Structure 1
Amino acid sequence: MTRKRRAPRALLGTSFALALLVLAGCSAVPTPTDTAALTPPSVEEWSWATTGWSLNTEADAPYMDRPPANLTSRDLDDTGLAIYYERNSDKVRADHPVVYAQYGISALIEYERTGQKQWLERAARQAEQLVTMHTERGDGWWYPYSFDWTYDDRTLTAPWWSGMAQGQALSLFSRLAQVTGDEQWATAADHTWASFRQEPSASEPWSTFIDDEHLWFEEYAGDQPPLMVLNGQIFAIFGLYDYWRLTQDPEVARYVDGGATTVLSIMPEIRNAGDISYYCVQVDFCARARWQDQKYHAIHSWQLNTLAKLTGDPQFSEWADQLESDWQPAA
């Protein structure tokens, strides 16, 4: 029997938790009389389930076997910046942090493969735009979505945030720092890492939260309940792993471990036996055909195989094999 995920609760902070209850159509709980109860736990008090992996320093970095962007199909402007148009718009251009980060990562991989300087310049151009567009919360740098995003019957109101965007920006900055030795990219990576250590908020950027003692990096963080998306969770982990390779910081490794432990914990809910896997695990929302997608099913398998290499744990590959046996595209 599949265990149903409880509504996200721990470490949310009272005001944020109340907002989620209202959005989910639940009755708000009474306001606590103890004002101390309104203060969310500090980062130092955060704890979550871990497995205790020793991360593999010899593994190929994520994406080396599968660059995240097609460098020939994405249009660039005169400055070399990837162009994104808002969905369902008449070519209204907008900043899209994942588009920039994915193109930048792919361009950097191409630079390392060919040595052609144009690819390094294009990778740096995407990183420059991420730095330009960032907003700050304390030491954390955040890369906002400035347009609303509708899925199913829900709409995230701009600005909203994404653990996936934070993670892929972190991958780009960390790799640029390693390849170029330029301190500006190490600084950008440090500030992006700081964003992962900030608690949820009803009024400020957030993506990290704890559910049922498991560490999450929410892909769609804003004024809707967390979807708890598998691919976004793992892309965030990839960014943290890249930053760990840069810094060898054991605290970063703890976040990688916690995030990957969460992945294993939800795989029974992600898997749809004999069919396409589910995109997300939000209780009473994701386990339906609307959230089955052939493209993401293949991404799930690839991501799980990558986590097996990074952690040395064959359980990830076993789940990848299981998904592939459940469904594969017709030959």
Structure 2
Amino acid sequence: MNRRVFLSSLTAGAVSGLAGCSALSSFGSENNQNLLMDEHIISESYDYTELETEDLPQKGGNNYGVSELENLPTVITRDNDGESALHPVATARHLLSLLEMYRADNDNRYRNKAREVAEAFVERSIKHDGGIYFPYEFTFPNGVYTFGKPWYSGMAQGIALSAYTRGYVESEDEWYQNRADEIFETLVTFPSDRDTKPWVVAIDEKGYYWIEEYPKPTLIHTLNGFNFAIWGIYEYWLLNQSELPKRALDASITTIKNHLQDYRRPNKTSRYWLGATHSNTVKYHNIHIQQLRTLYDLTNDHYFQMMAQVFEDDIQS
């Protein structure tokens, strides 16, 4: 369904009902909401381009034939000492793929499989402070740090937010809307103790809002995962257009904008995270370039367009 047609078709009563749902009237505790809305949080306001569904930056990536649906798994897992361990990013993209196929073919078999996947994914989630977190159920060494199971990721939460928001847009099923509200909650709920799980967002000492792909007590600020999470907030804001999603979107993009020079390594590939002393792989450097172009598409801020070119020139010299 065309997103603008869908939104314009909502009755006044439906809009009122949306505004009254739990996550739109109370985002976590009052203290959490006030933290992101505080005037000291560094945030520039953007006038966003409202993209159509087919142009949204968050993608699934798989093309499933109808004949494959019966044998498709619900959640995507990897083996962990003989057990099937949840992989949240892969599962969220799996759900997005099914929704993309439903939108393309309008075949209810894709819609039904998507709902089956969405329900199974939620069953593997952890509820905490009014939100639902999707755990990585396997230990993951990323080359510098080792993340013991279960661990949680802002990137996974953001991609899942896109998937459940899109599930609502495509199906008009409030079950998806309610799950999207609960996922968004995790992106505006800040830990009082970073040694306590689960959490995926933080405000640094300067007042910047960060979504952490790899949450650690000492924040490491991974760039590509942060941007994937932003795409989820953008989709959620497109649907809800209320104050807190707009603030989260503004503040997160402002953080990226004001730290891009820190990620840059002139005439080399960019840093994967801040504090890294080694160069990024070309693969992730190119992901950064494409993400900066997407930020330009969303905000019309030419700084992102200029920095995408700078990053590209750094590996052409």
Normalising by the smaller structure, the TM-score range is 0.7 to 0.9
User: What residue number does 1:69 align with?
Assistant: 61
Counterpart contact for 2:154–2:212, Cα < 8 Å: yes
User: What residue number does 2:315 align with?
Assistant: 327
- Corresponding letter in the other structure for 2:230: I
- Alpha-carbon offset, residue 110 of structure 1: 2.7
Tell me, yes or no, if structure 1 residue 228 matches structure 2 residue 213. no
- Alpha-carbon offset, residue 105 of structure 1: 1.5
- Alpha-carbon offset, residue 321 of structure 1: 1.7
CA 1:310–1:271: 2 relative to 1, 3 Å: same
Pairing partner for 1:252 from 245, 254, 257: 245
CA distance in 1, matches of 2:63, 2:289: 23
CA 1:315–1:119: 2 relative to 1, 3 Å: farther
- Larger mean Cα displacement after TM superposition, 292-301 or 167-176: 292-301
Counterpart contact for 1:207–1:217, Cα < 8 Å: yes
Counterpart contact for 1:77–1:83, Cα < 8 Å: no
User: What residue number does 2:48 align with?
Assistant: 55
2:42 aligned counterpart, secondary structure: coil
Per residue, is there more helix in 1 or in 2? 2
User: What residue number does 1:274 align with?
Assistant: 267
1:93 aligned counterpart, secondary structure: strand
Structure 2 runs not aligned, ≥5 long: 1-30
Counterpart contact for 1:80–1:125, Cα < 8 Å: no
Pairing partner for 2:230 from 234, 237, 243: 237
Q: TM-score, normalised by structure 2?
A: 0.79
CA-atom RMSD, angstroms? 2.5
Instruction: Report matched runs for 1:271-310 at 5 Å.
Output: 271-281=264-274, 283=275, 286-289=276-279, 292-310=280-298
- Corresponding letter in the other structure for 1:81: T
User: What residue number does 2:16 align with?
Assistant: none
What's the % identity of the aligned pairs?
30
- Alpha-carbon offset, residue 238 of structure 1: 0.7
After superposition, the C-alpha distances for 1:290-310 in whole angstroms (9 at most, x for unaligned) are: xx1222112111211111121
User: What residue number does 1:5 align with?
Assistant: none
CA distance in 1, matches of 2:236, 2:177: 9
Instruction: Report matched runs for 1:139-218 at 5 Å.
Output: 139-200=130-191, 201=193, 202-211=195-204, 212-218=206-212
- Corresponding letter in the other structure for 2:135: P
Counterpart contact for 1:147–1:157, Cα < 8 Å: yes
Tell me, yes or no, if structure 1 residue 100 matches structure 2 residue 91. yes
CA distance in 2, matches of 1:253, 1:123: 28
User: What residue number does 1:116 align with?
Assistant: 107
Counterpart contact for 2:140–2:148, Cα < 8 Å: yes
User: What residue number does 1:219 align with?
Assistant: 213
- Corresponding letter in the other structure for 2:104: R
Structure 1 runs not aligned, ≥5 long: 1-40
CA distance in 2, matches of 1:310, 1:67: 16
CA distance in 1, matches of 2:146, 2:54: 31
CA 1:63–1:220: 2 relative to 1, 3 Å: farther
Pairing partner for 1:264 from 240, 254, 257: 257
